[in-house]
Copies of this chain bind each other. A is one copy, B any other.
Amino acid sequence: MLSAIMEDYLKAIYYLQDETDERVRTSTLAEHMGVEQPSVTSMMKKLAERDLVHHEPYKGVELTDTGIPIALEIIRHHRLLERYLTDHLEYDWAEVHDEADRLEHHISNQFADRIAEQLGDPAVDPHGDPIPTAELDISAPKCGETLADHQVGDSVRIERVPDEDADLLRYLSEHGIHPGTEVEIVEVTSFGMVTLDLDGGDEPVALPEKVARSISAQSLSEDTS
């Protein structure tokens, strides 16, 4: 019924809506999809026509109750595929995003359910993002705190990393940083460089503050359990 392109728009709206909790703006969507604004406006009309989004002209769009489960279905496909590619097909986590971004539109729900079963219904994808269940329940979207929100001296556990920049992912995995890794923040410079010490020794790892702000991390304080 829906084209792959329409599905990608719905997915993008879901992500952006999740981030800001406001209506998603045409310009934001255009940038995220890599198209010009008029393309977005025209697509929003089509999606509104089908009751998948509510479009308030000049104000932005949001997913309707019909649109949300469709977006979640695609996100489920995407994240299950990523998990499957890394766990069963020896893909590097830096390579999985593009492959999943294509395949997510073309696998059946049956395919998704079968690989979920093979994987033992995993809760998160290789980058730490939660995988919606077959009933499309999704756990806590995003826990808020990032590496940049902590102080020098804090010990934190990496929760999730952004999955779209392959170069960054390669850099991170080369330096042993995955969801689950425990690190201590050892330096934050005035010019925006964050340095981490890995639990497992080795060299400290430096990250631009912009990157630090894109990586979720939770305090390792007493009340962690």
**Residues on A facing B (Cβ under 8 Å):** 85, 88-91, 95, 99, 102-103, 105-108, 110-111, 114-115, 118
Q: Given A103-B106, A105-B106, 16 other A-B contacts at CB below 8 A? A: A85-B111, A89-B111, A89-B114, A89-B115, A89-B118, A90-B114, A91-B114, A95-B110, A99-B107, A99-B108, A99-B110, A99-B111, A102-B106, A103-B103, A103-B107, A106-B106
Report how many copies the assembly holds. 2
Cα A111 to Cα B88 with chains together (Å): 11
Residues of B within 8 A of A105 (CB): 106
* Chain B residue with the shortest CB-CB distance to A95: B110
Cα A122 to Cα B108 with chains together (Å): 24
Tell me the minimal C-beta distance from A58 to chain B in angstroms: 36
A-B CB contact pairs (8 Å), 9 listed: A85-B111, A89-B111, A89-B115, A90-B114, A99-B107, A99-B111, A103-B103, A103-B106, A106-B106
